[in-house]
Amino acid sequence: MDDIARFPPLISPYRLREREDAFQAAVAGAQASGEAHRGAGSLYYVGRFELIEFALVLEPEEPLWLARKIFFAGMNALAEALSVLSPPEKPITIRYPGSLYFDGALVGGGRLAHPAGADEQTPPDWLVFGAMVRAGGVRELGVGLAPEITTLDDEGFEAWNPPQFAASFSRHFLVEVDSWHERGFSGIGPRYLSFLEKDEAKGRRGIDENGDLLIQGAGGEAKAREALVPALARPDWFDPLLNEPRG
């Protein structure tokens, strides 16, 4: 499969064995010193029948409180990579901050790691954006999934494979990074908000300077806030016991 994946410049791909953990491998590589160190652009991915999993090492120049918002760029790129394979006329949506849905059913999500105890006012040594997408169909095998859970195969997605998907994500992510460099968050935030699940009853939504989700009334008054940092610490789409999307 690797020979048909075209990773863009600035991305160094590392394929892991089927049951290895891409997220933990990326964190370990970012933390390592000497020849074992894997810096910005290192992308680890796992080739599994039932799950697409990859993680990308970043080395931001901004202080952590601002650099953390690169997570939204990662989610944009993840949704765009999924849309390339998606059957038409079915929505790809995000539930804040990192749960990925297809036609109303959970298919995966994104998460973010940074050094423990990192100073919010200082650029972190590294960040890792990781993603999982449940891929291989299981219903035809007689394995039940809850109605709000789905897979790429069960939804009729076009042919996919882990390295191709990771490479597609990488290309979309580099476009997001270019937008960040040219326009700051002003190009990334609105695109992310366009992927959020639609709920007119909740009011208008925006992203605060620190990445929190703001919900505003018709007159622009603040109605509610969802905090980014605790949500990233405990991704609601992720089952830590099984190390895969919940369900």
Show me where the domains of the chain are located: 2-186+236-245
d(Cα 242, Cα 211) in Å, to the nearest integer?
Answer: 28
d(Cα 233, Cα 67) in Å, to the nearest integer?
Answer: 16
pLDDT in tens, 210-234: 999 999 876 666 678 999 999 999 9
Supply the pLDDT for residue 204. Answer: 84
Query: How do beta strands 51-58 and 12-16 pair?
Result: unpaired
For helices 70-85 and 162-183, the axis angle rounded to 10 degrees is: 140
Homologous superfamily (CATH) of 2-186+236-245 is Bira Bifunctional Protein; Domain 2 (3.30.930.10)
Supply the pLDDT for residue 38. Answer: 97
Q: Measured in whole angstroms, how far is the alpha carbon of residue 137 from the centre of its chain?
A: 21
Q: Please give the torsion angle defined by the CA atoms of residues 64, 70, 150 and 159, in that order, rounded to the nearest 10 degrees.
A: -140
Q: Is the pTM of this model over 0.85?
A: yes
Region of 184 (left: φ > 0; alpha: ψ -120 to 50; beta: rest) is left
**What residue has token string 């449940």?**
134
Supply the pLDDT for residue 138. Answer: 57
d(Cα 157, Cα 147) in Å, to the nearest integer?
Answer: 18
Supply the pLDDT for residue 66. Answer: 96
Query: Taking the chain (247 residues) in consecutive chunks of 10 residues, what is each chunk's mean pLDDT?
Result: 72 93 98 96 90 96 96 98 87 96 94 97 98 77 64 79 93 96 93 88 84 82 88 96 90
